[in-house]
Amino acid sequence: MAKYMVPILLLFTAALHAQTDKFIGNWANGDESLTVEIYIQNGNYYAKAVKSEHPELIGKVVLVQMEKKSDTQLYGGTYYDEKLKTEYEAKLKIILPDTIRLTVMYGLFHKTIYWHRIFL
């Protein structure tokens, strides 16, 4: 029985660690005109629109190939702005347990958008 305890404990620990990623989940912008689901695919982070005031955006990936730099920061990806129909360089930072700051950069300018965690 004891020989099975170590593998079971390792599996439990791995499963628990996999669920502690702070970015994974559903997030909405301030006016809730856009709700996204952040997920991991091939080691990078993506966000897919699950609710939007622009119906054509639902199901589309709006945040692409973000790389994890720390437990609270993602860099290196792009964000698709549905209003301007343009992609911008982006970075994400968790500033509170249920709040992410999305910074979108274009040239010398940047725009900050705050997303809050929601439970669907």
* Domains assigned to the chain: 2-118 (2.40.128.520)
Residue, of 92 and 1, whose pLDDT is higher: 92
CB-count burial class (<10 Å; 0-12, 13-18, 19+) for 100:
buried
- In this structure, is the dihedral angle defined by the CA atoms of residues 15, 17, 18 and 20, taken in order, positive or negative? positive
**Low-confidence winner among 1-5, 24-28, 66-70 (lowest mean pLDDT):** 1-5
- pTM, rounded to two decimals: 0.80
At 7, is the pLDDT very low, low, confident or very high (cuts 50, 70, 90)? low
